[in-house]
Structure 1
């Protein structure tokens, strides 16, 4: 029987690690003695399918088609697989070289045609499997439980096919679990619950959407899923309005409201955050309650409000249940004109507006997500700093982020709001007047130390005044490119919007 640990390993290895060899040999022998069965071919195929994480990329693609926890689990899982692969294959294997089990230890029909030649310790396949399954379970426990048998089968297949010792697999699984838990350092878990608001609001009961004017945007999210059927099911008596590409949604809505001469008692919207923001601005201006059906790609606003699907919107309008939430407002001055915009999520100056414009151009030839990645890379390479007066103080910045309400987490990647009635703006900016500011920013993101970084700042303010010193720039609000301006006055407007939502459970 060949020794699983080559003589080149240091003699100073702990005694407990040297004893693993006997247990490994016994377990491999027991596995090899199992009678032949159809499971042999299945495990061999499963083992090959997990090469380079292909199996988990496929599962992640399937999970990503479902919004909410499944999609977050898929993204967290891929991040954990990447970390586990680096730790197992690039760090642990060179540090702990170990000979793989001899091929003759297992029956020939079970053996892989192409045996790996890298160190046996630890198992990269087991690390990736444990990383992905654990990550999904952190976001969606039921899905993680459903994937656990697949992860266990992939891990066991490495011993069944004779390319790993059991201790390799155990160590790989520990690395995978650690990688999944480590993602919480940069991407904290949060309860999948609506944001809080203490402001109850009066809104009329809307039986079948009677006296409701609803905007339906078939171009939001997946172009193949037209939300018209959902709107018709929830509000069969509502008047539907489709965005005219040659006209502004606000103008269309205001024209229809005036034409109805007081008969519109509520507005509805089925679309993404950009469409929702436009309709919400009209609802706030005309003091009308808003009902929404999430039909976009990310639906950040609907998620924070607590409306996850059509049934939530239908139930809330039928019950006349609503809350008051804050809106962000910005006055844009420049080129001799002043305009005002509401925003439900975020506004920004700097590279983001340019990225949105470039993404829309690239999207004419490529799908939305690849277009967004290409646009982001190009924008970061071409970014130029902003010389501004920030609350009267001269500064040079790479970008300014303004959130409607206080966002979490406090570091990089603000993604949710614990509350919708803070009366504050979440202001974040990246300084460009310090040496190597972009490199220091990236380093702080990787080490999760942004809250103590000198190049990145986050403050909560009821208002913010920004004046550009180098001409006009475009503002982006809720992912849509806005007007050119030189001076931008941001304000939080407490309880400016009444929105239908079921009471907190």
Structure 2
């Protein structure tokens, strides 16, 4: 082994000697300070905090993924690799006195934990926001090089540490999928009469959505759509009946909605029932449906109203106890899943969707009671059931994105409670990225699904709203049931 390492050791010595011969400069103090700032990953925690406070959605996800990767890489480098592969650090006199640390580290030189953390953080951020990672990369490279410049690591320690950190960061994709922020592919496009100034549009507004931001956005919509009728929601209003009455009474040719997913779902249900097109304005906290159909920016919807351009998308229907029907545009869930959704959405803006989902799953699994049910005639004890309108990705992890909204598909996932140690097995499979190989996880893509619950009625959550209870639930996809205003990219450029 020593014979094999001799060429590497000789190269390390030559590189350190060459570094030592560099003339003194202000960079010496800068690199030493930078290296010390990265002790215990303090530098990366500070950068992550900055991204989280000042960055957008991708930057916040990158910050959380980066810290997770740093924790894993640092643990492997310092807790596993160093004890297994002990190596002496460069001699104290390897670099000039002015560069040296007052208290140099005494642990194994191989590999560099600082380089591992720097590479792990930068690579993890690159998975979510390449542009942000490009800005961080020079700092990460400087941190890695600084360990050689101040004489505490051999160059090969730094190279291996960086490779370890990058590998760990790339490996996070196995249990935390990289979200695709591109809109879903939608159905056929069609044209209707343009609605200049919103003439003939009934716009339903939820003033309390998005932490009250709906009020501010409403002023913009009033100015841009002065001819539209405005219907503001309050606790005393029965939305479905009010929309039906106004459509019968007034010259309403389209519906609009400003609010979050719950509000959008309620108005979409009325649009399907009345066979009217829907204009969506993102006004909630998360706006999954608006993001998936590509109308997060109001200009896209304004352009479509002016041109009369529509795109057809799927919705899903659930029939409750054979009588009441509910349309949803994103997801429906029962068992522990409604609690899971509430917890995940409460935390995901702070820590990112996957960490929030993982923590929410732990909380729900530890306190949930199994749900006994028949799934399409087959007996199953469940912890939770997820029904998605459209095919969600990834198939073998917690669903993160929806690439299609036009193929008449329900995405069915449930967690079995009738196997030994099912809680433990589910937690292990989730955090190791092996759900697809776990017998406790069932995933199907179908056009319809029947669920018969044993015992008392259970709560059903649709698009984040938990407001229904039933014992028999029949789900079905409704292909191309909803027409939404959306201009094609070439019409908005």
TM interval, short-chain normalised: 0.7 to 0.9
Mapping for residues 126-205 of structure 1, pairs under 5 Å: 126-189=115-178, 192-205=181-194
Asked if structure 1 preserves the Cα contact closer than 8 Å seen for 2:200 and 2:227, the reply is: yes
Aligned pair partner of 2:88 in 92, 99, 102: 99
**Cα deviation per residue 1:365-422 (whole Å; 9 max; x = unaligned)?**
x997489787654322111100012112222111111110111111121122221111
Aligned pair partner of 1:227 in 217, 236, 239: 217
Alpha-carbon separation, structure 2, partners of 1:377 and 1:450? 15
Q: Which residue matches 2:67? A: 78
Deviation at 1:424, TM superposition (A): 1.8
Asked if structure 2 preserves the Cα contact closer than 8 Å seen for 1:218 and 1:227, the reply is: no
How big is the alpha-carbon RMSD for the aligned residues of Structure 1 and Structure 2? 3.1
Q: Which residue matches 1:277? A: 265
Q: Which residue matches 1:6? A: none
Alpha-carbon separation, structure 2, partners of 1:78 and 1:409? 23
Asked if structure 2 preserves the Cα contact closer than 8 Å seen for 1:300 and 1:416, the reply is: no
Q: Which residue matches 1:333? A: 321
Q: Which residue matches 1:123? A: 112
Q: 1:105 to 1:247 in 2, by over 3 A?
A: farther
Matched, 1:393 2:378: yes
Matched, 1:294 2:282: yes
Alpha-carbon separation, structure 1, partners of 2:207 and 2:108? 53
Q: TM-score scaled to structure 2, two decimals?
A: 0.87
Matched, 1:243 2:194: no
Aligned pair partner of 2:251 in 236, 253, 263: 263
Asked if structure 2 preserves the Cα contact closer than 8 Å seen for 1:464 and 1:491, the reply is: yes
Alpha-carbon separation, structure 2, partners of 1:283 and 1:236? 21
Alpha-carbon separation, structure 1, partners of 2:79 and 2:178? 28
Q: Secondary structure at the match of 1:292?
A: strand
**Cα deviation per residue 1:278-301 (whole Å; 9 max; x = unaligned)?**
222222222222222333333322
Q: 1:133 to 1:229 in 2, by over 3 A?
A: farther
Q: 1:150 to 1:275 in 2, by over 3 A?
A: farther
Deviation at 1:326, TM superposition (A): 0.7
Q: TM-score scaled to structure 1, two decimals?
A: 0.85
**Cα deviation per residue 1:298-336 (whole Å; 9 max; x = unaligned)?**
3322222122322222222222222111111112239xx
Q: 1:228 to 1:467 in 2, by over 3 A?
A: same
Deviation at 1:142, TM superposition (A): 2.5
Report how many residues are paired.
484
Q: Which residue matches 2:428? A: 443
Moved more, 461-470 or 128-137: 128-137
Q: 1:30 to 1:37 in 2, by over 3 A?
A: same
Asked if structure 1 preserves the Cα contact closer than 8 Å seen for 2:277 and 2:482, the reply is: yes
Gaps in structure 2 of 5+ consecutive residues: none
Q: 1:68 to 1:22 in 2, by over 3 A?
A: same
Gaps in structure 1 of 5+ consecutive residues: 1-11
Q: 1:177 to 1:367 in 2, by over 3 A?
A: closer
Q: Which residue matches 2:303? A: 315
